[in-house]
């Protein structure tokens, strides 16, 4: 395994532990089971908020490329931080020596939302959105602490824990177009959308094919109601099962060219297939979409506010952000005082 960092990289490699990684030959391919820990140091004078690594076994083979992103960091100048890699990659059998896996730096996001890296995986957009969500959620919990004290903060944390435990689980697998299937072709449905008045983009209309276990080939019409051109929109899907429970599963990412006030039609030819973690039957009865994030042409991004996420349908179905999960996990491991310390420091 080989790690490559540019000469002007904002992070330096301190240590790499490969002890838990294994390789195995299966048929005409090599399966690489990677379980390793890397340690990096921030060698800049800026605070780092996110890092993405490209992990490459083979550029063109399906299953030969993956990435690892670490959001919600707060790494100061000279400080070290870990990156855990747990991946399985495929590589064709070939003669010759050399590393089986190459690890490269794809991007680093700083606290001023500045970015470094080749951005081959479009990680800049993802990490910027995660950081905006993190700032939103830290403000939310900090305001609870300031207005209601530690007791109110603990109550909000416990409520978040309860919502996570109550969210239904659903396995989702993406099927590419043209692949043979024995699934029910389903029926064409007109899609419903939650209209968030604060969202800069609105889903005007949409249609897709829906069966009990599959959601296929959605086509949407989007309208830009902001004064800034938009280049990317992501629609989140909330599915309702036969018992009436709702869960957010999958999304519709769309590269667009939406001028202020303009509209565009976008389509996604792939399908989402559903199954229960327990193996039981799935009965999808309905689907609702909502705008989950937007990237403007100038690189700025928008995410729903905490007020929007309190809408009953979103509150029940949408998973907490990476930052909220981090704070909840900190509460579980180290208690309320550790969460308060984090909120006061960041």
Residues 203 and 221: beta-carbon distance below 8 Å: yes
* Lowest-confidence region among 23-32, 40-49, 68-77, 301-310: 23-32
Residues 323-341 have pLDDT tens digits of 999 999 999 999 999 999 9
Average pLDDT of span 101-114: 95
Q: For 252-296, what is the HEC assignment?
A: EEEEEEECCCCEEEEECCCEEEEECCCCCCCCEEEEEEEEEEEEE
Q: Identify which of 219, 226, 231 has the alpha carbon closest to the alpha carbon of residue 289.
A: 219
Q: Is the pLDDT of residue 219 over 70?
A: yes
Report d(CA 126, CA 285) in Å as an integer. Answer: 31
Based on the domain organization, do 312 and 181 belong to the same domain? yes
For 298-313, what is each residue's pLDDT tens digit?
999 999 999 999 999 8
Residue-level pLDDT at 183: 53
pLDDT > 90 in the chain, percent: 65
Half-sphere exposure of 66 (CA within 13 A, CB side): 15
Whether the Cβ atoms of residue 55 and residue 103 lie closer than 8 Å to each other: yes
User: In terms of domains, do 176 and 159 share one?
Assistant: no
pLDDT band at 21 (very low <50, low <70, confident <90, very high): confident
For residue 228, give the 3-state DSSP assignment: coil
Does 24 share its domain with 140? no
155 and 211, same domain (yes or no): no
- Other C-beta atoms closer than 10 Å to the C-beta of 170 total 19
What tens digit of pLDDT does each residue of 221-249 get? 999 999 999 999 999 999 988 778 888 88
> Pairing state of beta strands 201-210 and 11-17?
unpaired
Pair of tokens at residue 108: 């680093």
- The stretch 46-68 carries a mean pLDDT of 88
More confident residue, 153 or 174: 153
Q: Flag whether pLDDT at 279 surpasses 90.
A: no
Quickly state the pLDDT bin for 180 (edges 50, 70, 90): very low
CA dist 238 and 167 (Å) reads 12
Parent domain of 250: 171-318
Residues 20 and 96 reside in one and the same domain: yes
Q: Return the half-sphere exposure (C-beta side, CA atoms, 13 A cut-off) of residue 239.
A: 26
Same domain, 104 and 137: no
Mean pLDDT for all residues in the chain: 90
Looking up tokens 């076994």 gives 57
CATH code assigned at 27 = 2.60.40
Apex CA 261: angle with CA 257 and CA 263, to 5°?
A: 50
Give the Å distances, CA to CA, from 90 to 30, 58, 100, 106, 174.
6, 8, 10, 20, 18
For residues 192 and 308, state if they share a domain. yes
For 193, other C-beta atoms within 10 Å of its C-beta total 16
Q: Give the residue with greater pLDDT, 21 vs 51.
A: 51
Instruction: Tell how far CA 247 is from the center of its chain.
Output: 16
- SS3 call for 175: strand
Are residues 38 and 98 both part of a single domain?
yes
201 and 311 both lie in a single domain:
yes
Number of folded domains in the chain?
3
CA–CA dist 261, 27 (Å, integer) = 54
| Residue 97 pLDDT level (bands cut at 50, 70, 90) | low
Residues 312 and 339 in one domain: no
Q: Of 24-28, 40-44, 61-65, 239-243, which has the strongest mean pLDDT?
A: 40-44
* 93 and 134 inside one domain: no
Residue linked to tokens 């790499």: 16
Per-residue pLDDT, 96:
56
Q: Let me know whether 18 and 113 are in one domain.
A: yes
């Amino acid at each position: 395994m080989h790690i490559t960092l540019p000469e002007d990289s904002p992070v330096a490699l301190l240590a790499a532990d490969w002890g838990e990684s294994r390789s195995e030959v299966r048929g005409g391919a090599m399966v690489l089971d990677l379980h390793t820990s890397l340690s990096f140091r921030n060698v800049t004078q800026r605070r780092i908020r996110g890092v993405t690594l490209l992990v490459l076994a083979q550029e063109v083979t399906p299953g030969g490329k993956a990435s690892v992103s670490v959001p919600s960091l707060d790494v100061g100048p000279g400080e070290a931080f870990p990156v855990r890699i747990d991946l399985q990659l495929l590589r064709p059998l070939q003669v010759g020596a050399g590393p089986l896996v190459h690890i490269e730096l794809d991007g680093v996001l700083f606290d001023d939302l500045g970015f470094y890296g080749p951005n081959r995986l479009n990680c800049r957009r993802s990490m910027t959105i995660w950081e905006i969500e993190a700032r939103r959620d830290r403000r939310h919990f900090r305001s609870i602490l300031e207005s209601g004290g530690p007791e109110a903060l603990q109550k909000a944390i416990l409520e978040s824990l309860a919502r996570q435990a109550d969210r239904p689980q659903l396995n989702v697998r993406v099927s590419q177009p043209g692949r043979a299937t024995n699934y029910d072709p389903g029926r064409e449905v007109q899609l419903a959308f939650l209209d968030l008045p604060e969202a800069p983009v609105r889903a005007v209309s949409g249609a897709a094919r829906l069966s009990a276990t599959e959601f296929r080939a959605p086509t949407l019409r989007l309208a830009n109601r902001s004064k800034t051109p938009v280049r990317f929109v992501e629609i989140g899907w909330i599915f309702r099962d036969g018992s009436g429970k709702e869960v957010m599963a999958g999304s519709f990412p769309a590269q667009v060219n939406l001028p202020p006030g303009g509209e565009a039609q976008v389509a996604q030819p792939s399908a989402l297939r559903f199954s229960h973690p327990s193996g039981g039957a799935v009965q999808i009865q309905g689907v609702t979409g909502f705008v989950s994030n937007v990237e403007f042409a100038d690189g700025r991004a928008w995410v729903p506010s905490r007020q929007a996420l309190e809408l009953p349908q979103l509150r029940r179905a949408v998973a907490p952000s990476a930052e909220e999960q981090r704070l909840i996990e900190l509460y579980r491991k180290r208690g309320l005082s550790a969460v308060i310390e984090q909120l006061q420091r960041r």
